[in-house]
């Protein structure tokens, strides 16, 4: 598995499923891979009726892994228990959505499901391909770990409480209630949710104007800037330019952003540290500042940041 396989460019937009044209053809069927999703777990049965809430909206806060299955699929019955067990091990950092393709053909068509078992993820409403076929647990665990790194690079770092599917979910409150969370970040979060990264940058900057030491806003600003930069990049062209011009600082900055957004922070940091070594003056300082901003986006306490800071110091002095 390569990091490029997780890039969001060309991902499938699920917004067309926000309001299903018709009720689901059937409901209440047990998943063929291992029975109904258990109460108190992080596994949920998804239909067209609840797809918007349980997959699209939930994917803003945590990655949602989708297990496409059917009752006649024997490999699905081998894979699904592995997916469920690993999902519960991550304790709310991701959610598993089980979708019966026979009962939910519109979702299967939108996701371009050709054969099953098929496992994809959803981050901020966009499908990210994972793998096809029944894989052993060790390989599935690798995909889940990589998925969480990609989610973090895209600003999706939340957790969720266990999902009780035995009872219908009640509305969280009335329309007059204040939304949960810190109101200082509402504007920025709304902008991120709708994909307006420039507006998110401005909103985080406003928070920092009033509270320059706000750690959450610092991380949010760095991540929003990254997303704003990479959304218009062509990964193939940018990587080709970086390979052809190793001394071109701008080409290396773009490639480093793509590395970081794809979940490979170590590669991004190494690329920029090497660029610091090959540059001088204002150009070198620009690369250094860009690297510091990526440190901020990942979190200054991350072990990868500490390692890269040491490498940067060696390159500078």
Catalytic positions: 73, 76
Q: Are strands 43-45 and 95-100 parallel, antiparallel or unpaired?
A: parallel
Element (H, E) at 107: helix 105-110
Cα–Cα distance measured from residue 57 to residue 161, given in angstroms and rounded to the nearest whole number: 15
Strand partners, 41: 163
Within 88-211, strands assigned E span 95-100, 118-123, 126-132
Distance CA 293, CA 195 (A): 20
Six-digit token pair at 78?
């081998």
Directed axis angle between helix 281-298 and helix 249-261, to 10°?
10
Can you say whether the dihedral through the CA atoms of 77, 94, 127, 139 is positive or negative?
negative
């Amino acid at each position: 598995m390569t990091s490029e396989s997780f890039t969001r460019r060309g991902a499938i937009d699920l917004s067309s499923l926000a309001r299903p044209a018709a009720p689901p053809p059937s409901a209440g069927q047990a998943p063929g891979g291992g029975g109904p999703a258990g109460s108190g777990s992080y596994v949920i049965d998804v239909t067209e009726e609840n797809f918007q809430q349980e997959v699209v909206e939930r994917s803003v806060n945590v990655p949602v892994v989708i297990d496409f299955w059917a009752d006649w699929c024997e490999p699905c019955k081998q894979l699904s228990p592995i997916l469920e067990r690993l999902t519960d091990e991550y304790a709310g950092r991701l959610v598993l959505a089980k979708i019966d393709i026979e009962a939910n053909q519109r979702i299967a068509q939108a996701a371009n499901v050709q054969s099953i078992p098929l496992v994809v993820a959803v981050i901020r409403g966009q499908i990210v391909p994972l793998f096809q076929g029944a894989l052993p647990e060790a390989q599935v665990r690798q995909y889940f770990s990589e998925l969480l790194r990609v989610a973090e690079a895209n600003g999706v770092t939340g957790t969720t409480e266990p999902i009780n599917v035995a009872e219908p979910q009640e509305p969280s409150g009335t329309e007059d209630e204040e939304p949960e969370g810190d109101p200082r970040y509402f504007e920025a979060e709304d902008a991120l949710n709708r994909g307006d990264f420039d507006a998110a940058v401005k909103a985080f900057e406003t928070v920092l104007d009033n509270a320059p030491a706000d750690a959450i806003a610092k991380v949010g600003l760095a991540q929003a800037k990254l997303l704003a930069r990479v959304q218009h990049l062509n990964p193939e062209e940018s990587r080709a330019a970086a390979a052809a011009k190793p001394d071109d600082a701008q080409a290396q900055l773009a490639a480093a952003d793509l590395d970081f957004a794809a979940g490979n922070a170590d590669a991004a940091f190494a690329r920029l540290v090497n660029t610091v070594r090959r540059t001088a003056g204002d150009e070198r300082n620009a690369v250094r500042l860009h690297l510091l901003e990526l440190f901020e986006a990942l979190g200054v306490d991350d072990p990868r940041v500490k390692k890269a800071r040491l490498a940067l110091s060696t390159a500078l002095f």
